[in-house]
Structure formats: structure tokens, C-alpha cells
Structure 1
Amino acid sequence: MLSPRSAAAFGAVAAALVAAAPAAAGPLADAPVARCLTGNPADVTADPLVVLERNEQFAPTIGSSNINAQTSNGRMAAGVAADGTLTTLRWPSTMSYQQLKHYGPNARAPRAGAAANEGIVLGLVLPGAGTRWLRDFPQQSQRYADEESDEIETTFADPALGLTVTVRQVVGADIDAYVQRVGVRRAPGARTPTALMVFENLSLNNSNVPAIPGTDGCAHEFSRDTARFDGPTGAIVHWLRGRDLSNGEQSDVAMAVGVGGGVDDWQVAADAEEDPLGRLGGWTLDAHRDAANGDLNRGRSYTGQTTGALRAPLTFAGDVASRDVAVAGGRTPAGALTALRTALAQGQPAVAMGKKAALAPVIARAPLPATTDAKELALAKRAIVLLNTSQAPSGAIPAGISVQPPYAEDWPRDGMYFDEALDLMGAHDKVTAHKRFYLRTQRRPGFAAIGSIGVPMGSWPMNLYDTGVVSGPIPYEIDETGLGGWGLWSHYKHTGDRAYLDEAWPGIKLAAEHFVTCRDAVKKLQCRATEDDNLDLGNQQTIAGAMPGWLALKAGAEAAAIVGDTAARDRFAARRDELAVAIDEYLWEEDKGWYAGWDIPAIRKVVTYVGWPEPLKSRDDARMRRHADAIWAAFAPTFRAPEPGGRTAGFYDGLALIALADQWRGDAAKMQRLRDGLHWIAHTQATADTGLLGENWIVRDNKVKTITAIPQLWQHALFYLAAIEVHGTA
């Protein structure tokens, strides 16, 4: 079934983009971006499972980012497809902006339906045969080169040609560059390639739109960057100057792509998919088309929808040749070229070693689950790497780097789980930075984030860009207020840092006050409000809002006791206890044996809040025992997939394992269920090659396939937290 986030919120975004988009006609009618803006809005309301199966996404107007591996450093994030194509490139943070043209309307089509000239693609020039793109080789495989870093290794083989190519890809720890080492090995008697061909479709972005996410990936035809061939470095540099429309601040970006050791041919030209000049000959010919015969027309500059290609000679030592390729970011062309030269001078192996060295202390201090299962350990380590390399310089942490759907935003709900995992990993500095981002963006007297509409005092918008501007279309969600307030307090419990608590207390207090004033006068529950990305705005009153409210009030009372605000302590404690009684009276469903308040399949996600991060009652309470059994009954079909009787689609299954671990501790049979659930996630749900999780999964051809915003950080955080809760620490 659909998660409320994807089904509702981003369906609305798609509809908004359709309504706002100019009519596409002429050359733009077939453009990938035009398809993004003019998709069939009726699909948004189609049967969820039909849409999910057909498109592997909940809204066909949004599409599917083609990502099978991620490498990032907080400022730059690269998403790589299984065929080695670079499909996502975010800079100057993991959250803004997408600097690469790649639109995938259908995950089941070749290249996810993207045009042949999208992304960054590598190929070999063969004598008399032109360019053979590596993604067209018949044998391909991909993995992380090291489970304690994020260097990617993609291997291509063509037995008929006698060629094997290994590409190692990584974003440096201290340099904003995506660097690839291309190693070519020829078998005896193989045709010898003469050169490496690099094609790029960088399409620069420097702006967001308040409350409408995804424009950086969905409006590329409206962006015009300038590209030129830089003779001294043998590189192509793109740049775009201007202001971010969402906040009015200057936002200049530049990207440079080059090959270590220089090039002997180049082309800078138009994009044939979106500019008629790109279909003509000579200096304007689309660089992808131009590269087909192995020679390039040496166009030196273009402004508009740009493409570029570089040819670099290959020199074999015995049967092996190698070249390094890098893409680097900067605020100016000079800055991007400097970063590019630095990356190429270091070389990909050194950049990869530096990344592993930077992550070594991060891995060393983080506890690992006490299991001998290799895949579970690898998935736990992947969570450590992802969470420690995805935080933006502002302190914000995205749900993922995906452009389709647009998930490179910060949800305070997700963020609470991220921070719990990071605090457990010992990354307290990252959590402090994240909490300060929330303190800066919380609605307070005299301040509301840019784009806020109707966000009440003490609350946050649905989600935020890393600039602090509102990104989501839903004004606010009451569960995020509760979880955000509790999370501000929880960080103090992890660290005991009194200076931090004094800094965070105003935010904790504001969130708790919201649940004092947002009160149903009759039922004494929280007032009706929007819960969990639901487009039926302001009309829910379920456990999804009640438990986070109880947590925020509990946090407020406990924090108030430490800072010495006795009036606030008593007020919050009294309302906490009143809300607990109301939860028992109005949200307990005797026939189902759980606390819920809403009869929809997605409720199984939020009923887990009753047991974690803090239980509503003691574990031996009769209702808590029944509630735990009901949670398991709701999630158990997941862990039987893809076998008969199992679920055919699902999401956020780790929430159940976390919620049940403490409740069932000491019951060997029930704890084995949770261990089996962890095994299912690691062995069945995660991608078999790179070990990543998407937000959702479906069954296709009797196999479980993870989908949506791969890798999705909440899913990875949930697995890590659940593995520690269930197995304990090694």
C-alpha cells in the first residue's frame, strides 16, 4: 500500500506542477522535462497498487530516480545507476541542487526511460567502430568496494570484444569532486580501444521554489547555463549566475568535468532533446550524437541547453590502461576548475583512500549489532556511512538525494529517527548541528520560515530545504511538532550537555505548549490537525498525533524540571497525563486490540509510536501486550513476502521491529520473530548488489524489489536502530 508521503503529498506536487507549467509545444513537447510537467494528472488518483506496479512510483508525473549506489560528503552527493551512469549530482549540498539532467519517467524501461543523452556516461573508442558506451556492454555488475566507505565499483565485460572495464567511483571527503578511475583490461587478441570517451549533460540549477519541491529536477528546460572548453586544463566548465528564487540570496554555481592526463578532442554543444540546434551538424551537434563515430567537432562554447564530450587517449601497459575522470563543483568557473585539478592531481585511488580514512573513526565509534550475519552487519555499516555523509552544511539532513520523487528535504519526523541513530553512533556533533537547524526553523514569536502558511507556534513546516525555506505543500503536521520537540530533549538525554539544553529549552517549551493549547475540549485529545503527510488537511485525530503529542509534553515536563521552570513542568505534566487518559478512552480499539483511531492500512506505520521511542505504559500492561501482538499481526505478512500469504507491497517495516523489541525482550520465541524480520530486510528487501533500501518495496516476478528514493535514509536509520534493539551491541 502507499505511504501517505508518496501517495498524497507528492501526488499533490505533481498536480501543482501540471497546473503551473506552461503549455509545452513544438520541440519541447517531447522533452523529458516537459513530460515531467505535463504528465497525466489522472494517474495521481489511480489505484495505488496499479500505479505502483506499473511505474514503481506512486505518481507517474514524478517518475523514478535511477539510483543503485550513493557516494557523498555532505556538500556533494552522486547517485549512480546500476549501469554506471551518473544520474544524480547534487551540489553545493546533498539537498540542493540537482546539477545534472536526468529524467526517468518509467523505472521498468531501459535507462528508466531517460533519453540516451542524459546523465554522465563513459565509453571506449574502438578502431573502425566508433564509441561503445560501457552501459551497453552485455555483462555488468556493481557493488560497494568497501562496506566501511562509499566507493562504488562498477564492472563491465564484453567477451566478444575481449574487454573488461572496472570503474571505481567516489566523492572525496574534503574535496567537492566525483572522481572515477576507469581501468581497461584486454584479453589476448582483443581489439584495442584507442581512447576513453566521456559524455556529460550537466544542466545547472541554483534555485528552489517555496512549497513546491522538485523544480530543480523538473524544470531543466527553463535553466540556461553557459559551457565552454577550457584549453589549459582540457576540461569543460559550466556556470550559472543568479539568485535563489526561494530566498532571494545570491546563488552562483559552476561545475567542471575533465580527464587526468588531458584530452585530444572535445565538443561543447546543444542538447538535441531540447534544442533544435542540437540536431544540426558542426559545432552545435549534440555531444552524445557527435561522439558516436569516435571523433568530435570541437565546438568550444554554448549557452542554453548544453551537452559536452571529451576524448582521452588510452595507453596500454601490457594489457591494462587507466584514466581518471572527475566532476567538480565551485561557486565560479575558476573555483570549479581548481577543485577539478586538485582531484585529478590526487588521483582516484588517493581520493578513495582519503574517504575511507575519514570514515574510519566514524565506523570505529559506532556500535554494531551483535550478530554474525554478514549482510545484516553490512547493512548496519551502510546506515552509519549514509547518515554520516548526507548531512548538509546547514545541519539539515535529507530523506534521500532522490530527485524523482523529490526527497532531498528535511522532515522533522524523519529527522528524529536520524538523530537517535546518530546519537547512538556517537556522532553527537552532527546531532547538535541538526537540532540547531530545527531551532532556527521552528515557528516562534517574530519568526516563520519563508513559505510558511498557517504553521502554528512551536511547530515546523511539513519539510524544509537546507536553506530553511519551506519545501513541502502541506502547511504543517502535528506529529512532526511532537516528534521534533521530543527529539530536542532526547539529544540532551544522550549527551548530558547542559549548555545545549539551555539552548534547546525555548524550542522544547514551544513544542510542548502547542499540545497544551491544541486540545479537544470534549475528548481531551489533541485537536484535529494534519497527520503524516495527509492531504485531508487538518482533519485527523489519531494515534499518529496523540503519541507524538504525549512525547512532546513528557519532554517538556522533564526538561522544565531541570531548567527550573516549575510552572511549565506542572502544566506540561498535567496535560500529558490528561492526554494519556484520553488516548486510553478514545483511541483504543477493542475489536482490533490496539491504539489507532483510523481504519486505513497505512495506520500500521504510526501505531508503532505507542512503543517507541518511549512506551505509553509499562510493558506488562494488558493493553500494551495486546497492542504489541496487533502490531506484529499487521506487519507479519511483510516478512513472508514473496511467498504465498505474504504482502505484495510494503513500507517502513523496521518501525515494527523497533517498537516490539523492548516489549518482547525476554520472550525467546517472539524475539526470534524480530530477528527473522531483520534477516528479511537485509537478505530479501535490500538491493542484492549494493545493499540499499528504498522507501517501499513491491513483489514482482516472485521477487521483492526495493523502490522509491534509493537509498532512503529513514529506512536505513530504522534498520540500524532495530538491529541494535533486537541483537544488542557487539
Structure 2
Amino acid sequence: MISREEVVKTALSIAAIQQDDGGVPWPEGHVDAWNHVECLMAMTVAGLDEPVRRGYAWLARHQRPDGSWPMKLAGGVPTELGGETNHAAYVAAGVWHHHLVTGDRRHTEESWPMVKAALDYVAGLQTERGEIVWERDARGRPSTYALLTGCSSIHQGLRCGVLLADHLGDPQPHWELAADRLAHVLAAHPEAFADKSRYSMDWYYPVLGGAVRGRQAVQLLDREWATFVVPGLGIRCVSDQPWVTGAETCELVLALDALGDRERALTLFQDMQHLRHEDGSYWTGWQFANRKHFPHERSGYTAAATVLAADALAGYSAGAGLFRDIAGTSVFDPDVCGCAGVRVPPQAAEEGL
């Protein structure tokens, strides 16, 4: 485990790369809303209020009238104009997390219109079967396919949005229905998504995002454990390369923690600490055949995932249970999609019902 002081040091390494306009960039310089929000969440855990405030102001400033954000911005200028659904949905996770950690109702209320517009954008791109396509392009045309990792993250965002709505007394039942439909597709219809199975994210994200829990989740993680986990180092980013990455490893830690598998979660978290730099930042990855950091960069999103994993394991903040507690609880009617399967409520699955 890393200490509270080490967590703060890592969060400060994120604040150090924040741009003057409040955006938190990738190493190559662009900003996208998803990674930006993850970095804000990590700084929230560490109590870095001023950088977090500037980061949420950046989000409000760059949200478009349809509720989306440009896919990439550089220097505050959009460079890729499509609007990714998972980017928009994650803003709800960030705002709910901020509320849990800080209890700052004023910030939550001020952010609510932004969250509503974002999740309405997301829900508007759900297909009849239940998956949510990955983007609306620069011309406003919906994509023709969905991504499993993205939809898993969207599921979490929708659940967080429902909690925000209920807390603020402004229920949004269509978000809950969208989340139920999406969870069913994630659990029962792999054919709904483009094949990205060489990426470890497509393996564990249905668990991380709360759509798959209980016995099915344990079986899912065990099925590809040997494919992706490299003992002593972390997990591979892709199945066919000798390359472990810190962010993916910490996300798997969060998924394991959500299932109550603390032993493997703690082991993996400790295994990836070889990526820690003396300044508290983290190298993105390690190419273990060539024994070199690859790419040769220390990324804010890796530091952020590490902070969130450390918080989940050690309970440093009131938001430590964000990924653990976000699973849906309702049974979805299979008649809506015509299949024979019903998504089992997480409690029932854990009890073997």
C-alpha cells in the first residue's frame, strides 16, 4: 500500500501538469473529458480544491449545446470534433465522486445542469437493443457501433447520474432505464460490441463499471487472468505484447476490490509500484521483454488511477466506495430485447440465487 502522504504527492504530480486554462492533458498535450475527469477525481481525494475547481470550470466552459465535449482539445481549441458518449457520461461519475468526498452541495448544484445535458446526450444515442454507440461525429451522425469498455464506463456514469438526480430531488427515470438496458446488454450480449478483446480493458471493464457482479464477474475475471496478468509486474494493456501498464492494472485493482477480492487487489497494486517515480508520478508502462519504460512518459491518467485504487483499498476519502457501490440492483425484462436471459441482481448472484 502507499501512504496518505504518498497519495497526496501523486495528486500533486497531476496538479503540476494542469494547464493554465484548467485542462489536465495527456503527455502529448491534448485534453479529453474522460481522462480530465479522472484526474480531477484523484486530486479531489487528495484535497487539492483549487486545481479541482479550475478543472470543473474547464468542463463547463467546453461543453457544447448538445451536452457533449469535443473528443480532443489542444490549447483550449477543439482538434477532433466528434463527441464520445463515454467522455460525456464520466462527468456524472466525477461530480458524484466530488459530492461524496467533499459534501459540497453548492458545487453539486452548480454542476447539475452540465450533468443533465451530458447524460441526456448519452441516453439519446442508445440503440433499440440497449448498447450506446461510441460517438456522434463532427457532422452530427451517430456511430454505427458500440464499444464494450466505453459502454461499461457509461453504465457507471448513468448510475452516478441517477444518484445525483435523487439527491437533488430531480429524478431522471429515463437514465435508470437506460442503465438497466445497458447492463443487460453488457452482461448477456457480447455480439453487440466491436471486437476489441485483445485489450485488457474489454476484459475487466464490465465489472469495473458495475454492470457485471457476483458469480458471473468472478468467472469473467478468472477466464482471462492468465492471459493478461503478469505476476510481479501488473497487467498487460494488450494480450499479444510484453507490456504492462499502470492505469489498467489499477483499474483491475478497483474491479477486484468491488468484488471483495482484496487479496488479489492488494497484490496487483503492490506489483505495479515499480512504475512509481521519486516525484510521486507514475510511468505509463513497462516493456518487460526490452526492460524499458514504454512509452517513455509519466502520464496524469496513470497517476490518477493509482490514487483511486489506493483510496479504494485504504479508505482515505469518503469516495473510496465509488466503484464498489455503483452496481445496479434491478432485474431487466428480457422481453425488451427478446433474449432468454435475465440479469441477476448483484445481491442474489453473490448469495448463489
Residue 599 of structure 1 deviates from its aligned partner by 4.1
Matches within 5 A, 1:5-404: 369=2, 380=7, 382-400=9-27
Checking the alignment, whether the CA contact within 8 Å between 1:458 and 1:513 is kept in structure 2 is: yes
Residue 597 of structure 1 deviates from its aligned partner by 5.6
Q: Tell me which residue corresponds to 1:699.
A: 288
Q: Which of 613, 624, 649 is the matching residue for 2:243?
A: 649
Compared with structure 1, are the counterparts of its residues 482 and 698 closer, same or farther at alpha carbon in structure 2 (3 Å cutoff)? same
- What stretches of structure 1 move > 6 A for 4+ residues in a row? none
Checking the alignment, whether the CA contact within 8 Å between 1:519 and 1:527 is kept in structure 2 is: yes
Q: Tell me which residue corresponds to 1:481.
A: 88
Q: Which of 449, 460, 470 is the matching residue for 2:78?
A: 470
Structure 1 alignment gaps of length 5 or more: 1-367, 372-376, 401-406, 445-456, 532-536, 590-595
Residue 662 of structure 1 deviates from its aligned partner by 2.7
For 1:497 and 1:393, how far apart are their aligned partners in 2?
24
Compared with structure 1, are the counterparts of its residues 516 and 682 closer, same or farther at alpha carbon in structure 2 (3 Å cutoff)? closer
Compared with structure 1, are the counterparts of its residues 626 and 658 closer, same or farther at alpha carbon in structure 2 (3 Å cutoff)? same
Q: Tell me which residue corresponds to 1:636.
A: 229
For 1:540 and 1:499, how far apart are their aligned partners in 2?
38
Checking the alignment, whether the CA contact within 8 Å between 2:196 and 2:202 is kept in structure 1 is: no
Checking the alignment, whether the CA contact within 8 Å between 1:458 and 1:511 is kept in structure 2 is: yes
For 2:157 and 2:311, how far apart are their aligned partners in 1?
24
For 2:284 and 2:225, how far apart are their aligned partners in 1?
20
The answer to whether residue 211 in structure 2 is matched with residue 584 in structure 1 is no
Checking the alignment, whether the CA contact within 8 Å between 1:369 and 1:729 is kept in structure 2 is: no
Residue 520 of structure 1 deviates from its aligned partner by 1.0
For 1:729 and 1:679, how far apart are their aligned partners in 2?
17
The answer to whether residue 311 in structure 2 is matched with residue 724 in structure 1 is yes
Q: Which of 412, 415, 419 is the matching residue for 2:33?
A: 412
For 1:674 and 1:549, how far apart are their aligned partners in 2?
23
For 1:686 and 1:496, how far apart are their aligned partners in 2?
31
Partner secondary structure for residue 114 of structure 2: helix
Residue 518 of structure 1 deviates from its aligned partner by 0.7
Q: Tell me which residue corresponds to 1:682.
A: 273
For 1:438 and 1:575, how far apart are their aligned partners in 2?
24
TM-score normalized by structure 1? 0.38
Residue 398 of structure 1 deviates from its aligned partner by 1.6
Q: Tell me which residue corresponds to 1:615.
A: 210
Residue 508 of structure 1 deviates from its aligned partner by 0.6
Residue 396 of structure 1 deviates from its aligned partner by 1.3
Residue 442 of structure 1 deviates from its aligned partner by 1.0
The answer to whether residue 307 in structure 2 is matched with residue 711 in structure 1 is no
Checking the alignment, whether the CA contact within 8 Å between 1:461 and 1:476 is kept in structure 2 is: yes
Compared with structure 1, are the counterparts of its residues 682 and 550 closer, same or farther at alpha carbon in structure 2 (3 Å cutoff)? closer
Residue 573 of structure 1 deviates from its aligned partner by 1.8
Partner secondary structure for residue 697 of structure 1: strand
Partner secondary structure for residue 664 of structure 1: coil
Kindly indicate whether structure 1 or structure 2 has the higher relative contact order, using CA contacts under 8 Å at least 6 residues apart. Answer: 2
Q: Which of 25, 44, 52 is the matching residue for 1:431?
A: 52
The answer to whether residue 148 in structure 2 is matched with residue 557 in structure 1 is no
Partner secondary structure for residue 72 of structure 2: coil
Compared with structure 1, are the counterparts of its residues 636 and 727 closer, same or farther at alpha carbon in structure 2 (3 Å cutoff)? farther
Matches within 5 A, 1:515-534: 515-521=122-128, 523-527=129-133, 529=135
Residue 370 of structure 1 deviates from its aligned partner by 5.0
Aligned length: 308
RMSD over aligned Cα atoms: 3.4
Checking the alignment, whether the CA contact within 8 Å between 1:528 and 1:538 is kept in structure 2 is: yes
